[in-house]
Amino acid sequence: MTKTATPFSRPVYLMAKPAGAACNLACTYCYYLEKKHLYAGAGKQLMSDELLETFIRDYIALQTTPNVLFTWHGGEPTLRPIKFYERALELQRKNAAGRHIDNAFQTNGTLINEEWARFFKKNNFLVGLSIDGPQDLHDDFRRAPSGKGSWARVMQTILTLNRHSVEWNAMAVVNNRTAEQPLDFYHFFKEIGCHYIQFTPVVERFYRHPDGRLLAAPTDGAVATMTPFSVTPEAWGHFLCEVFDEWVRHDVGDYFIQLFDSTLAGWMGMTPSVCTLAETCGHAPVMEWNGDVYACDHFVFPEFYLGNIRTTPRKELVQRPELLAFGRDKRDRLTAQCRNCDYLMACHGECPRNRFATSQDGENGHNYLCDGYHRFFSHSAPYMDFMKYMLQHNEAPAKVMEWIADGMPDYRKR
C-alpha cells in the first residue's frame, strides 16, 4: 500500500500476514478468506513470536536503502493484539542499524478503538481502511458472518482515527454494484474528508478446488466462470470516466486517486505507485503466518509458492528464478493487441491475474478489463497530455482545472 500523494514511487517489500486469512468479517467478494484451506488442520493460523523475530531481522538486513517499509495485512491484522505489534516495533528498533522504518496497516476498521488509534498515532502508522462508499453499497458485501453490515462500525472508526490525527487512506472496491453509481461513490469519500483513495476492481472467477477453495487461480483458464459480483469491463471503464471527469475539473491537487496518479506517472514514463500498471512485477511477495512466501498477495496459490523463510534465506527467496520470471512475464507475455496498443505505457497489460480473456486476434492471455481501461485512457488522454506538459515545464498539474474552464485552448509553446 502506498500513499497516492507520491505517485512516482514504489517500495520493494514483503507483505506480512500475522493472522493469516483469519477475519471477523465474511465479505462476499473477499479473495483471501479461503486461503485458510491451504493450511487445513493447522489449528490457529497465527504468526509466532519466533517467526516474527526472524522475519524482522532478516527483512531489515536485506534492505539496500536507508528506508524500510513494513506492511501488515490480512485477513484482518487487528485479530492480533496491540502487544504483538509493540513487540514488532521493539524488534524493528533493535535491528534498524540506522535505517528509517515505516509501518503500513491494512484493516477492515471494525475492531479499531481508542487504544488502537493511540497506538497508530504514537508510532506513525499509515492505515489503509477498507470502506465501500455509502451504507447501502458497503453493507451489500461487507458483512459479519452473522449477516450484519459493517458500515456503521467503520464510520465510528473513521471518527476515532480523525480524533487522534491518524493518517489513513481509503481502500475502496469497485464491484458490480458500486460501479453503477460512480459519482455517488466518489462523492461519499469527499463528504467524509478522505483525500487519498484507492479504487480496486473486483475480478474473480469460480473454480472448485479439491481442498475446498472456490476461487480460480490465474492458471485455471477457461474452465472457470465469472462471479456475479465482479465488475464488467464496460462498467469499469464507465466508472473511471465518470469519476475522472469530476476529479479533473474540481479536485486535482486536493483529492489523490491512486489510479489517476499512476496513469499520469505512466504518461510521464515513470514507474507508477500501483503495481498493476507497472511494466513488470514480482517486487512485492507476501508472507503467510507460518513463513510461507508467495509471489504476490493475489497469487497465493500452490503454483506460486516460493519457499519458507525458516528454511530458505530471504535473499534467496527474492532472487528465485521463479519470482524473477513471474515479474518479467508481465511484460514478456503480452498479447499482440497489448504490444501494439497506444496506451501500453499507461497500462502494461494490467495485472496478470486478470489475463484470462481472449484478444481481438483470438490470442489467449489477454486482460479481461482491457476494454474498460482503453476507454478510460482514450477519454483521459487530452487531460493527461496537458498535465504531463505542465510537469515537464515545472508547473502544477492542477492547472488543468483552469485550462478546462478556459475552454481547453492550445497550450503548447510554438
Just list the catalytic residues.
297
C-alpha cell at 279: 511494466
CA distance 99 to 102: 10
CA distance 134 to 216: 29
CA distance 244 to 248: 6
Q: Which of 319, 353, 321, 360 is nearest to 339 (CA)?
A: 360
Give the pairing of strands 364-366 and 357-358.
antiparallel
Give the pairing of strands 168-174 and 196-201.
parallel
Going by C-beta distance under 8 Å and a sequence separation of 6 or more, which residues neighbour residue 149?
135, 138, 139, 142, 143
- CB-based contact 210:228 (threshold 8 Å): no
Query: What kind and span of H or E run contains 346?
Result: helix 344-347
CA distance 355 to 349: 8
- At 257, is the secondary structure helix, strand, or coil? strand
